[in-house]
Amino acid sequence: MLEPQTLRFLSGLELNNNKPWFDNNRPAYEAARIDFQNFIQLVIDDLQRTDATIAGIAARDCLFRINRDVRFAKDKRPYKSNMGASIKRGGKKSPFAGYYFHLEPGKSFVGGGLWMPEAAQLKAVRQEIDYCWDEFKSLVEAPDFKQTFGDLWRSPETELVTTPKGYEKDHPAISYLKFKSFIAETPVSDAELTSAALHKKTVAVFKTLHPLICFINRTVEA
């Protein structure tokens, strides 16, 4: 579980996204960061029994910085109003698919997958889905996967409008071959964030996602 003070800090930051407020509340930020880091470490320690590729990874290396890069952004707010952790083989900046926890009051979710891969990797994942369609279909239609996620996350940002080059529009996997990202997620309520069941839910979601992670990552290993 996470401490209520962690959520209060992020809610306060959402309303006061400026450096003076942040500096005045830095002790609260440090406490929230440590709280989130400790929770993620507990998840890693449990999850590595299922996924040996993340064994030995430290939570502090999975957390994203709270500072925003505003150099080329229209939105000049200096801080993110969320905390995120990417748990995956090779570290958060590696090309591998992995697990993700997004902490943001009212908008939290847990899930993972592969986000906006480079062209060569995207081509490799599509080819794997094409060649191993029956296997991929069994993963995304597995009862646990359907119950937890429904389907891969669909949005205009993650899907092509047209058929990708090299595939026919009547391909049985075309709805998945159009994806530019391969992400699954499920929401987490604020009440769940501060409940003792949070750890169990997070690990269960990640375990459900694990077969899809393995499917995608073998395209990186090839």
Q: Cα dihedral angle (29, 31, 32, 37), rounded to 10 degrees?
A: 120
The architecture (CATH level 2) of 4-221 comes to 2-Layer Sandwich (3.30)
CA–CA dist 30, 6 (Å, integer)? 10
Q: What is the pLDDT of residue 70?
A: 80
Measured at the alpha carbon of residue 30, what is the angle toward residues 26 and 32, in degrees to the nearest 5? 115
The pTM (predicted TM-score) of the whole model is 0.95
Predicted local confidence at residue 51, as pLDDT:
96
Mean pLDDT by 10 residues, the chain (222 residues): 98 97 98 98 96 95 93 88 96 94 98 96 96 98 98 92 93 96 97 97 98 95 70
* pLDDT for position 194: 97
Residue 221 CB burial class (10 angstroms; 0-12, 13-18, ≥19): exposed
pLDDT for the residue 222: 62
Spatial CB neighbours of 182, under 8 Å, sequence gap ≥ 6:
97, 113, 114, 125, 152, 212, 216
Q: What is the pLDDT of residue 73?
A: 79
pLDDT at 23: 97
Please give the pLDDT value at position 7: 98
